[in-house]
Structure 1
């Protein structure tokens, strides 16, 4: 009888604890991420509850939209001061406080890719065995250093590209996809690191390709390497099936001697490409079909009004058709829940601008410190790295 009573009491206590955790979880899910992170310090129980991957998935049941961009200087501009944080944070909502974000990148690092709340970075100071790579969560300020893979049969390999694949709505773990070339020949191979197994594994047979692997984008379960010039291959590697396939040809329709970095990126599970070549401010935003049947025109954008309001964008006012004509870069295409909420983030001389694609309105996001140099960008040839709030563990 006493044993049955004790068992009943234990069951009742467990039910009470479970109900309390359920209520606590419901409350925490309604708080800003900043507050949730602070509440991890309340007790060990709160810490483990909030750190649980299932809680992270409940907190972010859908793909979160980006709330800002990190723009980073190229490594050539760092000089000898490797501790300098050569980046600028650009909030998409300037009226909201950004104190929680400003100092969320460690010193002396280079951002390689952002993916659904996590960032793949490398150290600027390289050792004899190469740079150190790590995955970083800028919201929680936690990082995980990637182990170096073993060399195959002692053959020296060169990293041609390294990318992060992370989709928290589907899995708690992330993977790192690294394309390596063998110095003995011109072939490549793909090796993948899993945060679940903490190990590297070869995922493909050696292959040859003319593609550029230095700027990959994760979308639709795959890493995509796009030829944005028009004279090489475009490939994608499905992380789950390990299939390596060709991407449909890009819609490059403008031929000119002017070369400018085209835009290629993902937002809220949409993959976009913008042909930036040529002396023009009328752009087309293309989107790739999920079944890879081809690209289609999603938006047509006319930036003429932005040029009128910001004449420093004109490279040669007397002859606007000379060379590239206008100086600007598309740092990001950000999709909203509705099309009317979608916008471009533009870098123009001296500032960053938010341009609503549907309403064709625009506003300044950030005015860079210092004198505005005519037809000059503070962060040339550097894409924006999206900042998405997340408490996912690394």
Structure 2
């Protein structure tokens, strides 16, 4: 009877805003334990797996990176996350990755990789965990680090490090930290690859490079596999975006020899068998409305002729509501795929357009926010 009671209440409460849930934990001990439980966190994430905002890194040179919060639902632009202060780290803290509501962060500047701290942070609850360092590590280099967290499958997460190998037989090795066991596991059979940029989606870490190389890693089975390329991939392809949204993997390519006014958004099949064109984008109307997007100091054949960066592909439950978030000179814009209409989300600085084609936020500086009560 009590289990049914908890199930009913959990499914009702899971539809409420996260701020309300944090307050409701004080209603009673029963509600506190229910809302704080791993079970409720899974219920909440089943109801809301879509971002409501984006953390934006605004400056590259500062010792303590500056972040702003861009709402995707018309709320005012916020600098409440201007700096990450959940822990006192003298080097400052920067975000490396957002994954289903929790953030992978690290010390911004340290002398020597062995002194760098890594953190898992839940911005909704303001809770964090410091990832312990593996014992008996010799100095080495990190080539990539990815957070793997899928609350629809498990309340636990893994952090996968690709490091230089301790042996001469292999160039790389994996170090994997599990929040469930609080232990590290190690693997030495790692293919030679560029692991600097990756994306986690539905149990797999995916990597791609402009050269056409592609690879994925099954986090649970700890196996590497090649992944297919889009059918129209060519040697002039330029990866403009490669991230996950709503449990789906998306890829945007532009051709280095053609205008970037029109491009396709690819989506990976759920069985990861192939890429297909999910959306077709035409920015003609947007460029007419914001002519500052055209760089006068470059030619139409330049891959960067139009000044914009893709900050996010946002998939909604109703497909016709899915959209792009673009950064154009001085502004953040949403672009609806179906209706090919745009909406101004925020004007960063009205005077910014005097800088020729100024783009201050890169694709890698955007981190989607999904409200979650996940325990880190």
Same fold (TM over 0.5): yes
Shift of 1:325: 1.8
CA distance in 1, matches of 2:71, 2:228: 34
Would you say the 8 A contact 2:214–2:228 is kept in 1? yes
CA distance in 1, matches of 2:157, 2:272: 24
2:148 aligns with 165
Shift of 1:44: 4.2
TM-score (norm 1): 0.84
CA distance in 2, matches of 1:127, 1:353: 38
Shift of 1:170: 0.9
CA distance in 1, matches of 2:176, 2:247: 22
Residues 219-258 of structure 1: pairs in structure 2 closer than 5 A: 219-227=201-209, 229-230=210-211, 233-250=213-230, 253=233
SS at match of 2:244: strand
CA distance in 1, matches of 2:334, 2:163: 38
1:59 aligns with 44
2:33 corresponds, among 34, 45, 48, to 48
The C-alpha deviation readout for 1:172-203, integer Å capped at 9, x for no partner, is: 1111111111266461111211111111111x
1:28 aligns with 13
2:291 aligns with 311
Would you say the 8 A contact 1:156–1:183 is kept in 2? no
Would you say the 8 A contact 1:316–1:322 is kept in 2? no
The C-alpha deviation readout for 1:233-286, integer Å capped at 9, x for no partner, is: 321111111111111125564665xx9652001111111100134332101111
Would you say the 8 A contact 1:156–1:182 is kept in 2? no
1:340 aligns with 320
2:88 aligns with none
Residues 259-270 of structure 1: pairs in structure 2 closer than 5 A: 262-270=240-248
Shift of 1:110: 1.1
Comparing 344-353 and 128-137, the one that deviates more: 128-137
CA distance in 1, matches of 2:234, 2:305: 14
CA distance in 1, matches of 2:133, 2:31: 34
Would you say the 8 A contact 1:313–1:374 is kept in 2? no
The C-alpha deviation readout for 1:47-72, integer Å capped at 9, x for no partner, is: 22211111112223245111111121
1:131/1:356 CA distance change after superposition, 3 Å: same
Q: Does 1:364 align with 2:344?
A: yes
The C-alpha deviation readout for 1:182-239, integer Å capped at 9, x for no partner, is: 266461111211111111111x333341x22122211121111111x125x3211111
The C-alpha deviation readout for 1:341-383, integer Å capped at 9, x for no partner, is: 1111111001010000110010111110352223111213534
Would you say the 8 A contact 1:261–1:381 is kept in 2? no
1:59/1:183 CA distance change after superposition, 3 Å: closer
SS at match of 2:351: coil
Would you say the 8 A contact 1:187–1:206 is kept in 2? no
1:293/1:37 CA distance change after superposition, 3 Å: same
1:277/1:121 CA distance change after superposition, 3 Å: farther
CA distance in 2, matches of 1:255, 1:205: 32
Q: Does 1:389 align with 2:367?
A: no
Count of residue correspondences: 364
Comparing 121-130 and 276-285, the one that deviates more: 121-130
Comparing 346-355 and 60-69, the one that deviates more: 60-69
Residues 118-157 of structure 1: pairs in structure 2 closer than 5 A: 118-126=102-110, 129-151=114-136, 155-157=138-140
Cα RMSD for the two superposed structures: 2.7
2:54 aligns with 69
Shift of 1:98: 6.6
SS at match of 1:60: helix
The C-alpha deviation readout for 1:13-58, integer Å capped at 9, x for no partner, is: xx6x778756754653343211111222345443222111111122
2:251 corresponds, among 273, 278, 287, to 273
Who wins on radius of gyration, i.e. which is larger?
A: 1
1:213/1:264 CA distance change after superposition, 3 Å: same
Q: Does 1:113 align with 2:97?
A: yes
CA distance in 2, matches of 1:318, 1:393: 49
Would you say the 8 A contact 2:311–2:362 is kept in 1? no
Which 5+ residue runs of structure 2 have no aligned equivalent?
86-91
Quick check: which one's strand share is greater?
2
2:23 aligns with 38
